[in-house]
Chain A
Amino acid sequence: MALYDTRRRRNHLAMTLAIAATVFGLAWLVLILGELLWQGFSGLSLAVFTQMTPPPGSAGGLLNPIVGSLVMTVIAVAIGTPLGMLAGTYMAEYGRYDKLTMVVRFINDILLSAPSIVIGLFIYEVMVAQMGHFSGWAGAVSLAVIVVPVVVRTTEDMLILVPDTLREAAASIGLPRSLMIRKVAYRAARAGMVTGVLLAVARISGETAPLLFTALNNQFWSLDLNAPVASLPVVIFQFALSPYHDWQKLAWTGALIITLAVLALSIIARTLSATRKSS
């Protein structure tokens, strides 16, 4: 009986630990989001979205970094999405069992979690050092490099899920392969592929490291992509580490805006993929 008791006690202990671990994990989410809402909301006002970043000690907003982030994100997605989708298409449709596909899948998975600061260094070497100055283009391209693996992965996964019977039906009425892919496979996998793009946007909208020495930062209103461009994450980084209270306040507000945007994107992506699964 003693052995039985020990086993039961050990089981109870382990299960309590499991519950405690879960509470521990969830607690961080609550703590971080709570603090963010608490600190960020008080600074949230119309001025944040209509005024430029201020010099220390005066009031201002985050208009130029917000616009800079949006512009660079749009360009990054415009470059990264077609490339990623085409690569994913090859891997799922043309060369599903190729050597090439195996290698690309492996490399892509590594790029997916490669340190983003290394990608910043890469673009610095390739673009900034060659052009001789920091630029919005370099920032956008470094973000695009992060977009590509995310889109490749989801495109491939989603196209593989498309039933082969659909492809066979299309082929049987004489559709050539490229038309079959574009008219049948893409449509069947559309929700999943859109999810992938949303996830990629969520991923890059908080990225700071690759922008630090590609797009740099800009105190002023500038849409010239050949010059340094301000971005929300970099401004948060700079303002949070500054000794000025106003700047720190703005950093919290910016952090709240980014987090809300990212969480909204991932929730939309999740519901999109959930409806696809259940249908």
Chain B
Amino acid sequence: MVDLALKGEAVPVSKPADRADVLKRLRLNDLVFRVLTRSAAVAVLIILGGIIISLVHGAWPALAKFGLGFLVSDSWNPVTNKFGAVAPIYGTLVTSAVAMVIAVPIGLFIAVFLTEICPMWLRRPIGIAIELLAGIPSIIYGIWGLFVFAPFLQQYVQPFLIDVFGNVPILSDLFAGPPYGIGILTAGLILAIMVLPFITSISRDVFAAVPPVLKEAAYGLGCTTWEVSRYVVLPFTRVGVIGGVMLALGRALGETMAVTFVIGNAHRISASILAPGTTISATIANEFTEAVGDLYTSSLIALGLILFVITFIVLAAARLMLMRLNARVGR
């Protein structure tokens, strides 16, 4: 610049008009980018809207034909074109319930271990290993469940359950019948393994967010580690833990491939959890490409709509709880 000035050449000074041009261009750029990002954000909403509209549209023939009866009928007969959703809904709820009964306590205990008694240097590796369980694709759980886990259950676990509970009044119905290997219980167990990491990682995070002062105060009173976890940490983090559990439940309800492999795909409701059954997602996965006739296809889409509504409610509740928690922590 100095050189230029010494040589007597004019330093290019932008004219006010150029400056205005540049500013105008930048302003336009800004506007375009802003509108672009905003429409992308709206597109996320459109995806959800599209899912709901297309499912309702696809399910309409079945819903119009069967009405509310679709929700209470347990027949599923492609030959006579009679469809009802009770058996798959029942299977979905029961497998998820089995999964939660097993996964919630174990997940919480793992979180207690990771936050209270695990040596510092082991916390990260173990945490990552548990989270890797969530990273394994569900089809892997399916193939493993079918070839390894189901035969194992059939040979060792299920005969044992039948023997032990065979004479207990209510439980004998729950654990009745021949050991098939595949069935509701097997699907529930696989789901339990799959959702374990969700429960563990969320509870661990909320446990770790408990103010140390609270725990120290309890320890100062002479509480044991268990008492601190049970009476201080857990009540303090209740909302977060429930949120995490609901999130896991949402996953369990919608899980498809792992369940499809081991559920047995039988459209019936039996009292025994050892018997084969079906879930909404397994029914769709197994039958959709083979469904002949509009009513059959439409009934399957109606099942999908029911599944979406159920998981939407569960997941929305989970998110609302976790959001409430975040608001509290943020304050």
Contacts and interface: CB of A to CB of B under 8 A. Distances in A.
Contact of A15 (B57, B225, B289): B225
A122 B41 contact: no
Interface in A195-231: 202, 205-209, 212-213, 216
Contacts of A119: 51
B261 interface: yes
Contacts of B276: none
Given A111-B44, A113-B250, A233-B137, A176 B30 contact: yes
B135 A262 contact: yes
Contacts of A106: 316, 319, 323
Given A90-B41, A259-B140, A240 B109 contact: no
B307 A118 contact: yes
Given A15-B117, A22-B126, A208-B256, A259 B301 contact: no
A131 interface: no
A94 to B, nearest CB: 6
A36 interface: yes
Nearest to B58: A125
Given A21-B109, A107-B44, 6 more contacts: A15-B226, A19-B113, A24-B106, A84-B40, A113-B247, A176-B29
Contact of A208 (B32, B34, B257): B257
Contact of A122 (B38, B50, B226): B50
B100 interface: no
Contacts of B14: none
A237 to B, nearest CB: 6
23 contacts: A15-B226, A17-B109, A18-B112, A18-B113, A21-B109, A21-B113, A22-B114, A24-B106, A28-B133, A87-B44, A90-B40, A90-B41, A100-B42, A118-B304, A122-B55, A125-B58, A125-B301, A149-B44, A176-B29, A178-B30, A181-B33, A202-B135, A240-B261
A230 to B, nearest CB: 14
B163 interface: no
B129 interface: yes
A240 B319 contact: no
A30 to B, nearest CB: 9
Contacts of B143: 236, 240, 251-252, 255
A84 B140 CA distance: 28
B54 A126 contact: yes
A258 interface: yes
B130, B307, B315: which has the most chain A beta carbons within 10 Å? B315
Majority-rule SS of B interface residues: helix
Contacts of A179: 26, 29
Contacts of B118: 22
Interface stretch (B74-82, B164-172, B280-288): B280-288
A83 B48 contact: no
A169 interface: no
A110 B106 contact: no
Nearest to B108: A21
B4 to A, nearest CB: 23
Contacts of A117: 254, 256, 281, 284-285, 304, 307
B48 A107 contact: yes
A213 B288 contact: yes
A29 interface: yes
Given A83-B40, A259-B140, A262-B137, A22 B110 contact: yes
Contacts of A25: 106, 110, 130, 133, 196, 200
